Amino acid sequence: MKKRELRSMLFQLELSRRRLLQPWFSGLGLTLGQGQPRILARLLQGDGLTQRELADACVLDAATLSRALDRMEETGLIRRVENPGSRRSYLVRLTDAGREKAAQVQQGFDRVDEVLCRGFSQAELDRLQEDLERLRANLDGCEGLFGGKST
C-alpha cells in the first residue's frame, strides 16, 4: 500500500464512522464537533476529572472543551464542583441526566465498534491495534516536524 493511500483510507474510515454515529448523537441532542459524545463517554468511565485531565483524555484543546462543558452544563448533563485538591480548578462530574445520556452515547459507540470489528478474529484485531498504536507513536514522536509545536 502506498503511504498516500494509507492516509486516505484512515480519513475515509473516520468519515464513515462519523456518518454512522451522526444521526444517533444528533437524536440525543449532542453537538459532535465539540466532542460532547467523547466527553460523556470518558466521564462515564469515571468522572471527577479536572478540565485539563478531561481535555487530555478526549484529545481536545482547552478552549473547545470549555465551550462544550458550558453547553453541557446549561443542558444539565454535567456540573463543575470545587476541586478539594486545588483551589484553582474544578472537577467535572456527570449529573443523573448526564449519566443516562452518557450510557446512550456508549451504546452508540459499542454498536459501531461491533460493525467495525465484524469478520475479524481476535488475533487480527490485536495486530491491528498494535499497528495503529505504532502509527500514532510515529506521529507523537514528530513534534516540531514543521517548525512549531504540534497540537
Residue 66 inside a domain? The answer is: yes
Whole domain around residue 76: which residue ranges?
32-117
Residue 14 inside a domain? The answer is: no
Which domain CATH number covers 110?
1.10.10.10
Residue 47 inside a domain? The answer is: yes
- The C-alpha cell 478540565 sits at 51
Which amino acid is residue 147, in one-letter code? G
Residue 54 inside a domain? The answer is: yes
What is the full per-residue pLDDT of the chain (151 aa) written as tens digits? Answer: 677 899 899 999 999 999 999 999 999 999 777 899 999 999 999 989 999 999 999 999 989 999 999 999 999 999 999 988 888 889 999 999 999 999 999 999 999 999 999 999 999 999 999 999 999 899 888 877 887 655 5
* pTM (two decimals): 0.84
Cα–Cα distance for residue pair 137/85, rounded to 1 Å: 32
Residue 94 inside a domain? The answer is: yes
Cα–Cα distance for residue pair 130/140, rounded to 1 Å: 15
Residue 141 inside a domain? The answer is: no
- The C-alpha cell 467523547 sits at 38
Angle separating helix axes 36-45 and 62-74, nearest 10 degrees: 80
Residue 61 inside a domain? The answer is: yes
Q: Which residues neighbour 40 within 8 Å (Cβ) at sequence distance 6 or greater?
A: 30, 72, 77, 94, 98, 101, 102, 105, 106
Residue 53 inside a domain? The answer is: yes
Tally the domains of the chain. 1
Cα–Cα distance for residue pair 94/101, rounded to 1 Å: 10
